[in-house]
Amino acid sequence: MLTAYDFPTAKILDEAGVDVLLVGDTVGMVVQGHSTTLPVTMDQMIYHSEMVGRAAQRAMVVVDLPFPDGQLDILHSVKCGARVLKETQCHAVKLEGGAEQAERIEAMVRAGIPVMAHIGLGPQSVHVLGGYRLQRDIDRLVADAKAAEAAGAFVVLIECVPSQAAAAVTEAISVPTIGIGAGPDVSGQVLVTHDIVGLTSGYTPKFTRSFGDVGLVMREAAQSYCQEVKAGTFPSDAESFE
Ligand code: KIV
Ligand code: NA
């Protein structure tokens, strides 16, 4: 699973064989330039989800409910989830939280909205957690995962926990787990696309890896364009109309 926020990127990832595309509220950080995911709105999530949903031919597409749409009253969250299914071609939503979200997950699934739970580090709670910190409480993680599964979540995503804790969670439930900063002993992995292709600058978390440098390719293409325009070699006759 990888994140996608726009049509061309989603098309490339879909064609590359990524099984699940996540329209994550990390769009607020890696696209909008904010330092947290908190400013992202439901309307913005719908806007990006429309583009990704149109591009995906084979991948499942999951959409984050942003803050505080996944925390307000349950009927509000059900309506937001329904907007995702009705206004975009995406398939499911993701909700941060475990046991405290069980009632909400249940209501959404009952309404026909598939829910991926997201436990461990929940970036929407960064100010309660006191930073983007490793979540070590195994008993709580297992209890959260079990509550989410019992409520009807089809996958439990686990963020920023020790590998042993993610393994214990994966062992404790029968739906798949997807890890980010959660080690190898999970059913699947997710990363933020911009982080792995060189499109984020500055700090990147320990758990990500550079798999390519699209940023460098773009920088070089832009520099070549500027040089050719200044040198008068762009546009050529072939690139002009008579
Ligand atoms: O918003 C997002 O991209 C996420 C992933 C980091 C799991 O929630
Ligand atoms: Na997110």
| 81-139 pLDDT per residue, tens | 999 999 999 999 999 999 999 999 999 999 999 999 999 999 999 999 999 999 999 99
Task: Identify whether residues 139 and 57 lie together within a single domain.
Answer: yes
| Catalytic one of 15, 50, 159, 228 | 159
The answer to whether 159 is a known catalytic residue is: yes
**Tokens for 33?**
């330039």
Q: Which residues are 179's β-sheet partners?
A: 158, 189
Pair (206, 224) in one structural domain: no
119 and 207 together in one domain: yes
**Which pLDDT belongs to residue 214?**
97
This model of the complex carries an ipTM of 0.99
Indicate the pTM of the whole model. 0.98
Strand partners, 139: none
Same domain, 154 and 242: no
Q: Which residue has the tokens 């460098």?
A: 216
Task: Identify whether residues 198 and 227 lie together within a single domain.
Answer: no
Are both 195 and 231 inside the same structural domain? no
What is the tally of structural domains in the chain? Answer: 2
- 25 in a known ligand binding site: yes
DSSP 65: P
Pairing state between β 92-96 and 60-64: parallel
**Tens digits of residue pLDDT in 164-213:** 999 999 999 999 999 999 999 999 999 999 999 999 987 889 999 999 99
Question: Residue 69 C-alpha to ligand 2 middle, in angstroms?
Answer: 13
Please identify every residue whose CB atom is under 5 Å from ligand 2, which is an ion.
24-25, 64
- In contact, 112 and 85? CB cutoff 8 Å: yes
**Is 78 found in the same domain as 104?**
yes
The closest ligand to the CA of 191 turns out to be 1
Q: Which residue's alpha carbon is at the smallest distance from atom 1 of ligand 1?
A: 24
**Domain that includes residue 222, residue range:** 214-242
* Residue 26, annotated as binding a ligand: yes
Same domain, 241 and 132: no
Separation of alpha carbons 130 and 107, rounded Å: 30
Tell me: do 130 and 236 sit in the same domain. Answer: no
CA atoms within 13 A on the CB side of 73: 2
- The CATH number linked to 138 is 3.20.20.60
